Structure 1
Amino acid sequence: MNQNEPLLVTNCAQLITLAGPTRPRAGLEMRELGIIPDGAMLISNGRIAATGPQAKIEKLASADVQVVDANGRIVLPGFVDAHTHLVFAGNRADEFEMRCMGATYQQIAASGGGIRSTVRKTRAATEAQLVAAGEKYAKWFLAGGTTTIEAKSGYGLTVEDELKLLRAIRSVAKNTPLRCIPTFLGAHEIPEEYRSDSDAYVDLVVKQMLPRVAKEKLAEFCDVFCEEEVFTVKQAERVLMAAKQYRLGLRLHADQFTCCGAVELAARVGAKTADHLEQTTSEGIAMMKRAAIQPVLLPASVYAIGSQKYAPAREMIDAGLAVVLATDFNPGSSPTTSMLMVLSLACTQMKMTPAEAMTAATINAAHSLNRGQELGSLEPGKIADFVIFDAEDYRELAYFFGMPRTVAVFSAGRQVDLCPVL
């Protein structure tokens, strides 16, 4: 199926367009999905030309149009996963077993495991090996209906290894249909060689890593893991302010394990998002509202590390925040690419409605990555990234959990090959 061929997507039980305001959705807007029952969609040159009732749209189609028959299933925008760690070497299945036996995530990290374990493996890997790993995971994302991700570095923690990771992310974006929006996360962990002098490592990030990342145009955003045992508020602010000088957008791992002032920092520096937020207070929520920060919530990481404390999504939505959902795909605390799993957790554990979760995983996520004008909804003029799921109602995606539901995935109007990696 050629990208330039006009397509008619028809016989949709529900065409879930997410049509609405050209900004992130908040409050009751998050429940408005722009559903067209018995819908259809016309696509031309990889972009959406028209959406509407099937009877109306079919009359607009030319005689030579390629027909995609949804066979009474639902069609929705490709998921936008706004927090992932796409590229790394190895895995941490051994640490998973340790957590099953009672060790906590923090205990494993303190003993030399955790992020530093993946750093050692990633430093030893070649760029080609990292690209191959990233391409494998890209297929996993696409197979689950995700067509766009934010992809962080952060497992190199030297100048050359961080650049290696960002170049690998760029290659994955070039070689696969998965859209990858790169984020520099050099301040992800303090490497072994700087454990006794974390400020010296911050110097390295600010004075050597960021200039190279900016010069080679390898990232759109900069992120920092702000926790007292990792990077303090003062250190995180130094990195983010330096990134701002290079015109990178700002994101922040905030309030995951402790409430240490990270949300206040995000507001102070003008961050686009604050991510995790399991420990965030009502005061922090009010601060995010005033600063127009989008919270990116990661319930799969809470589930995977065996925690019981999820981010206060209901309070955030009721306060008018434009909530985002993401997988936090990484080898340690959230080894999943499944947005369907995230939807289920958001509904069952954070008491979001299925509609709110859908909005958070599509149009709100797209806006958090500065892609809301192009992606995240099925509206005329936008890129035709869409998915056909084996369901008759969008609520089934969170209701039936733990099983594949993807029938077909399209990126810019072209069907993606979902064959498994062999």
Structure 2
Amino acid sequence: MERIDLLVTDIGLLVTPPSGIVPRYGAEMSVIHEIEHAAIAIRGERIALFGTESDVRSQLTGIEIGETVSAKGKLVAPGFVDPHTHLVHGGSRENELSLKRSGVPYLEILAQGGGILSTVRATRAASEQQLLEKARGSLNIMLLNGVTTIEAKSGYGLSLEDELKQLRVAKQLNSRHPVDLVSTFMGGHAVPTEYTGRADEYVELLVSRMLPEVASQGLAKFCDVFCEAGVFSIPQSRRILQEGKRYGLIPKIHADEIVSLGGAELAGEIGAISAEHLLAASDQGLSSLAAGGVVPVLLPGTSFNLGLKQHARAREMIDTFRLPVALATDYNPGSCPTESIQLIMMLASLNLRMTPEEILTACTINAAAAIGLASEIGSIELGKQADITILDAPSLAYLPYHFGINHTFGVIKKGRVAVWNGQLASGE
């Protein structure tokens, strides 16, 4: 064995989904491998060895070790993956809080020019540097909460130049920040004010000008659309996603968040990698997801923040439809302004009735699968990227149990310490 660059010792309990490069389905989500008194050896950016500390040390006899760090008896898990965020945006929308609390529906706020359209105005007015600094601050918070990879959607520009501006910011952050970003083009987030009453014309602009330019500049891996009553219809959503596929962008879809429109069925039909929200998805829609191998990405922070009585049917998705459920923050300035994946874990336990083991799976290997990275991240196993989160918790169940705080002690990203003792270890 060659030199080991970093050895993590004194791990009280290591928890990880089993080895594999695909998501965990249904009851498989409850299977978690645990190793007490563990250690992890890292070479470069990859995991070279892991197991009980005694076994690891015995295999490293005579091997040069560059650096050794102690996990101080804490819980160690794969780095968390957040597969649905709206990271790059201008402004904030705390002014809408009283409207929401007085019962004004989300779609009505949007129809009045608020909601997404309010953020569009702020994002268009912001410079690229202003957007980068704001997003960097949120990305730092995510890293401090144990997140090592995120998906970042555009969708607050809704014009060619402003969508490109958002995607350029995400690309810059991916090259400069410890957290890895994968980008999603979401020009189909809303119909901009200048196209009010002319949604089909906006869709034409999106597919004829925006998609080709995004693809030619290599600024996105995925294409997403808000398929919802009063936003984009099934035919409009199908056209956007099919055209995206033609340009090499993998389809995702905001589906059946508020109305059972048929977005889940569309996701299965077109072979989307993920369908997201799904609060109002029908049984037929969930069957379509299962048949199409689509990962359902659930966003319990959004239904919680909007004060909805209805939540995604996670138990049925797992137990009846045998779906590989993933969890995400949906970080955005309107319906879910939080960067805390650990808050999402608690809400998944409380409102989605998911077990701690299912929650870990949903925030690691299944979340990685939702962004096409399960072969690289999402579990602690030989050859995978050394993305590791160290948590000040005695057990996995402690994370959703003791809520409202950040349990992260340390984060190792690509084999380098990025957070230690709850503090950023780099200049970020």
**TM-score exceeds 0.5:** yes
What is the aligned partner in structure 2 of residue 99 from structure 1?
A: 100
Q: TM-score, normalized by length of structure 2?
A: 0.95
Partner letter of residue 30 of structure 2? R
Question: Secondary structure of the equivalent of 2:374?
Answer: coil
The question of 1:341 aligning with 2:349 is answered no
What is the aligned partner in structure 1 of residue 380 from structure 2?
A: 378
Whole-angstrom CA distance in 1 between matches of 2:203 and 2:279: 26
What is the aligned partner in structure 1 of residue 242 from structure 2?
A: 241
The question of 1:398 aligning with 2:400 is answered yes
What is the aligned partner in structure 1 of residue 115 from structure 2?
A: 114
Checking the alignment, whether the CA contact within 8 Å between 1:8 and 1:58 is kept in structure 2 is no
What is the aligned partner in structure 2 of residue 359 from structure 1?
A: 361
- Shift of residue 107, structure 1, vs aligned partner: 2.8
Whole-angstrom CA distance in 2 between matches of 1:101 and 1:414: 47
Change in 2 beyond 3 A, CA 1:42/1:5: closer
Checking the alignment, whether the CA contact within 8 Å between 2:155 and 2:186 is kept in structure 1 is yes
What is the aligned partner in structure 1 of residue 253 from structure 2?
A: 252
What is the aligned partner in structure 1 of residue 190 from structure 2?
A: 189
Checking the alignment, whether the CA contact within 8 Å between 1:13 and 1:393 is kept in structure 2 is no
- Shift of residue 280, structure 1, vs aligned partner: 1.0
Checking the alignment, whether the CA contact within 8 Å between 2:418 and 2:424 is kept in structure 1 is no
The one-character-per-residue Cα deviations of 1:312-344 (angstroms, maximum 9, x if unpaired) are 000000121111101100000011111111111
- Shift of residue 63, structure 1, vs aligned partner: 5.1
Whole-angstrom CA distance in 1 between matches of 2:424 and 2:221: 31
Which piece of structure 1 moves more, 338-347 or 153-162?
Answer: 338-347
What is the aligned partner in structure 2 of residue 14 from structure 1?
A: 13
What is the aligned partner in structure 2 of residue 41 from structure 1?
A: 40
Partner letter of residue 21 of structure 2? T
What is the aligned partner in structure 1 of residue 24 from structure 2?
A: 25
Checking the alignment, whether the CA contact within 8 Å between 2:253 and 2:267 is kept in structure 1 is yes
Whole-angstrom CA distance in 1 between matches of 2:98 and 2:414: 40
Whole-angstrom CA distance in 2 between matches of 1:165 and 1:79: 24
Matches within 5 A, 1:318-329: 318=319, 319-329=321-331
- Shift of residue 419, structure 1, vs aligned partner: 4.0
Question: Secondary structure of the equivalent of 1:35?
Answer: strand
What is the aligned partner in structure 2 of residue 301 from structure 1?
A: 302
Partner letter of residue 193 of structure 2? E
Whole-angstrom CA distance in 2 between matches of 1:247 and 1:291: 19
- Structure 2, unmatched stretches of 5+, are none
- Percent sequence identity over matched residues? 43
Whole-angstrom CA distance in 1 between matches of 2:198 and 2:95: 29
What is the aligned partner in structure 1 of residue 199 from structure 2?
A: 198
- Structure 1, unmatched stretches of 5+, are none
Partner letter of residue 23 of structure 2? P
Which piece of structure 1 moves more, 27-36 or 328-337?
Answer: 27-36
Question: Secondary structure of the equivalent of 1:83?
Answer: coil
The one-character-per-residue Cα deviations of 1:239-289 (angstroms, maximum 9, x if unpaired) are 011001011110000000000111111111111111000001222111111
What is the aligned partner in structure 2 of residue 229 from structure 1?
A: 230
What is the aligned partner in structure 2 of residue 52 from structure 1?
A: 51
Whole-angstrom CA distance in 1 between matches of 2:64 and 2:20: 34
The question of 1:220 aligning with 2:210 is answered no
Whole-angstrom CA distance in 2 between matches of 1:279 and 1:400: 30
Partner letter of residue 329 of structure 1? Y
Whole-angstrom CA distance in 2 between matches of 1:60 and 1:412: 22
Q: TM-score, normalized by length of structure 1?
A: 0.97
Matches within 5 A, 1:167-182: 167-182=168-183
- Shift of residue 22, structure 1, vs aligned partner: 2.7
What is the aligned partner in structure 2 of residue 315 from structure 1?
A: 316
Which piece of structure 1 moves more, 114-123 or 50-59?
Answer: 50-59
Partner letter of residue 12 of structure 1? I
What is the aligned partner in structure 1 of residue 269 from structure 2?
A: 268
Whole-angstrom CA distance in 1 between matches of 2:105 and 2:417: 42
The one-character-per-residue Cα deviations of 1:7-63 (angstroms, maximum 9, x if unpaired) are 111111211132233311012211111111111111111210011111111223335
- Shift of residue 104, structure 1, vs aligned partner: 2.9
- Shift of residue 298, structure 1, vs aligned partner: 0.4
Question: Secondary structure of the equivalent of 1:6?
Answer: strand
Whole-angstrom CA distance in 1 between matches of 2:229 and 2:108: 15
- Shift of residue 294, structure 1, vs aligned partner: 0.8
Aligned residues: CA RMSD: 1.5
Question: Secondary structure of the equivalent of 2:351?
Answer: helix
The question of 1:330 aligning with 2:329 is answered no
Whole-angstrom CA distance in 1 between matches of 2:141 and 2:65: 33
Checking the alignment, whether the CA contact within 8 Å between 1:225 and 1:231 is kept in structure 2 is yes
